[in-house]
Amino acid sequence: MLWVVGKVESLGLPTCQCDSGRLVQEIIPALGSDIEGFLASAELRPPGVLLAEDDRHYDLWCRTIQALRGGAHLLPSDLVIDVLYQRQYAFEWLHGIELWDDVQCDA
């Protein structure tokens, strides 16, 4: 979600967990601090950029599901499926159809 509002430069491939220490120390305001500056500087990426990244992750998600079901799709050896799932979940939520707790990551 931080990528969506321009707080993280790029997503890259889902091949590692995010650096949560960096998130807490450098990006997200400290708990209890003023968040106005953080919110004011948040800038939603253009729709075309969001859709392209959504498509890229959806395609990888579908290939992953097919491979896990015994399909012939080869997956990157360094793919972290949990990271891919969390990203796909966030993109599905951005579609605005389901509430966060009700999101379905179908493939």
Name the residue ranges covered by the structural domains of the chain.
Answer: 20-102
Long-range contacts of 4-12 (CB under 8 A, 24+ apart): 4/44, 4/45, 4/50, 4/90, 4/94, 5/42, 5/43, 5/44, 5/45, 6/42, 6/43, 6/44, 6/45, 7/42, 11/53, 11/87
Query: What does the pLDDT read at residue 77?
Result: 87
What separation in angstroms does the CA of 80 have from each of 18, 47, 72, 85?
A: 11, 26, 19, 9
For residue 11, give the nearest of 22, 20, 2, 24 by alpha carbon.
Answer: 2
What's the rounded mean pLDDT across residues 90-104? 94
- pLDDT tens figures, 62-88: 999 999 888 777 888 899 999 999 999
pLDDT digits (tens, 9 = 90+) for 20-59: 888 888 888 988 999 999 999 999 999 999 999 999 999 9
* pLDDT for position 101: 95
Pairwise CA distance, residues 79 & 63, whole Å: 12
Give the pLDDT score at 91: 95
Residues in the chain: 107
Q: What local confidence, expressed as pLDDT, does residue 48 receive?
A: 96
